Amino acid sequence: MNEDKPYVELLLSSPNPHSSFLSLSQTIWHQQDVTTCAKKNALQKVVAAYEEICQNMHR
């Protein structure tokens, strides 16, 4: 897995990156043992990965 972009590779390895993005985002948001700051950072990375995937799909 690419250590620089693990979320990109994770989403691309899914048969449906769109639903995986939603599921992963929801899973991060509902974690009980994680600080709000950590959730925000993880969600920002997931959103950035999803945006990169969407941009590449339209090229």
Q: Report how far apart the first and last C-alpha atoms of the chain are (Å, whole number).
A: 23
2 pLDDT above the threshold of 70:
no
Element containing residue 56 per DSSP (H, E): helix 36-57
The predicted structure's pLDDT at residue 39: 97
SS3 label, residue 30: coil
Radius of gyration of the chain (CA): 12
The 10s digit of each residue's pLDDT in 10-54 is 999 999 999 999 999 999 999 999 999 999 999 999 999 999 999
Banded pLDDT at 1 (limits 50, 70, 90): low
pTM of the model: 0.85
Are 17 and 59 contacting, i.e. CB atoms less than 8 angstroms apart?
no
The predicted structure's pLDDT at residue 30: 97
The predicted structure's pLDDT at residue 57: 82
Cα angle: 25, vertex 27, 30; to 5 degrees: 110
Q: Where are the domains of the chain?
A: 6-57
